[in-house]
Structure 1
Amino acid sequence: MRINRTAQLLAAAVLGVALAGAGAGVAGAAVAEDDPDNGIDVSVTIEPNSTPGEVSMTIADNGGVALQEDGSNAAARQFVGTLPTVTVTDSRRPEDIPDGDFWAVVGQAGEFTVTDGSAPPIGPEYLGWKPRLLSDSTTGAVAAGEPVSSVISDGSGAPTVGLQGQELLVSTADSADEIGTWQVNADLALRTPVDVAAGEYHSTVTLSLFNQS
């Protein structure tokens, strides 16, 4: 009987694998000898970084902030939450920072509105915050912004101006100390009149990074 040529080749290939395995079992694996002359030197010359640094801001991934009622009293209804962590990184070199240069993260809240317009909006002056520095700043080069309260005071003595162009994080004007990574968040508190209309309200807090000399 004639055997197809392709079948012969396939049989040979399978046999070869079987023989190789058998041979390895008898003779053992070959071990390469260490030879210093076979070593390969790997080198790299890294030039000074010529890419200018920058001041940048990122906000932690989040699904928004859902304020929850807590601390309401006869003077106001209060709804609280926490701002996602905000990170500012200054990667500039000290010699590239002009004298007197500083940066700041500023927050601005929009009106709280009900989608179907069934209730009057709640202005940004009713939303306050208390920024909190999460990074160690032993030099005092970077500081959290001052707390502000709703126009309906929370009794803390904070200015009752609401979240209308308020600083969340600010640097000093000392270039050497500004460099690094800094993180901050803030306690949010919406204080409304006790007779506020019921509804699902939405607002947007916009954070902007300003760098000035």
Structure 2
Amino acid sequence: MITTRIPRLLAAAVMGAALTGVALIGPAVAQDDPEDGIDVSVTIEPRTTPGSVSMTVADNTGVALQENGSDAAARQFVGTLPTVTVTDTRDPAQIPAGDFWAVVGQAGEFVSADGSAPPIGPQYLGWRPQLLSDSPTGAVAAGEPVSSVISDGSGAPTVGLQGQELLVSTANSADEIGTWQVNADLALRTPTDVTAGEYRTTLTLSLFNQS
């Protein structure tokens, strides 16, 4: 008698599980009522804070120039300027005709760390700016490349980095609104007999807005 009851208990357990499963997956019926919709609205007031032109430089720990491209005419040391961003949030209607802005770079003298060597003047440092943002209308452009007074053979003016444009806008204020990014390849070309040692300088970037 015991052996005949065990199969019945198992069968009952299986049937209970099957019924429970059917109950869990039963469809839920939703009642859609268009009157229950939520109206979402927003009122955007006119801008009260006037826009501006601002500049930021990407976080960096400085640029360590590395020797690359030296030749019989000069020793050359190269690196890349951190990304510079200019943001113009002004209302084009409020910008005077002919208004433009420019980012200008000025290098100081490279001074030896221990003060034992003659300084290397900014005329030996050149750069080649590169616009990183798309400017299909040409509203904003990278500055012209300049070379060390010891020419690199590229044909760039050999004036060094002494008050040179990195990024400049046109006089069309409606097109220059937005965010623009630029960097530059740096190249220090010194005489071949430059005194060995560690040198440092400060490259100052300034944003000018003129009409």
- Give the TM-score normalised by structure 1: 0.81
Q: 1-side partners of 2:185 and 2:167: how far apart?
A: 14
1:42 CA displacement: 6.0
Q: 2-side partners of 1:122 and 1:197: how far apart?
A: 10
Q: Does 1:48 align with 2:46?
A: yes
Match of 2:72, SS state, is coil
The one-letter amino acid paired with 1:186 is A
The CA deviation string for residues 151-184 of structure 1, in whole angstroms up to 9 with x for no partner, is 0000111110000000000000001001011100
Matched residue count: 181
Runs of 5+ unmatched residues, structure 1: 1-32
Match of 1:167, SS state, is strand
The CA deviation string for residues 10-67 of structure 1, in whole angstroms up to 9 with x for no partner, is xxxxxxxxxxxxxxxxxxxxxxx99x89988665422111211000000001110000
The one-letter amino acid paired with 1:78 is Q
The one-letter amino acid paired with 1:72 is S
Runs of 4+ in 1 over 3 A off after TM superposition: 36-44
The CA deviation string for residues 94-126 of structure 1, in whole angstroms up to 9 with x for no partner, is 101100000000000010011220111000000
Residue aligning to 1:187: 185
Q: 1-side partners of 2:41 and 2:143: how far apart?
A: 48
- Aligned partner (choices 52, 61, 64) of residue 63 of structure 1: 61
User: Are the equivalent residues in 1 in contact too, given 2:113–2:197 (CA < 8 A)?
Assistant: no
The one-letter amino acid paired with 2:91 is R
- Give the TM-score normalised by structure 2: 0.81
Q: 2-side partners of 1:105 and 1:38: how far apart?
A: 56
Residue aligning to 1:134: 132
Q: 1-side partners of 2:39 and 2:175: how far apart?
A: 40
Between the aligned residues of both structures, percent identity stands at 83
Residue aligning to 2:9: none
- Aligned partner (choices 182, 198, 201) of residue 200 of structure 1: 198
Runs of 5+ unmatched residues, structure 2: 1-29
Residue aligning to 2:96: 98
Matches within 5 A, 1:85-124: 85-124=83-122
Residue aligning to 2:143: 145
The CA deviation string for residues 124-157 of structure 1, in whole angstroms up to 9 with x for no partner, is 0000000000111110010000000000000111
Residue aligning to 2:5: none
Q: 1-side partners of 2:74 and 2:36: how far apart?
A: 80
Q: 1:75 to 1:90 in 2, by over 3 A?
A: same
Q: 1-side partners of 2:38 and 2:192: how far apart?
A: 77
Residue aligning to 1:8: none
Residue aligning to 2:3: none
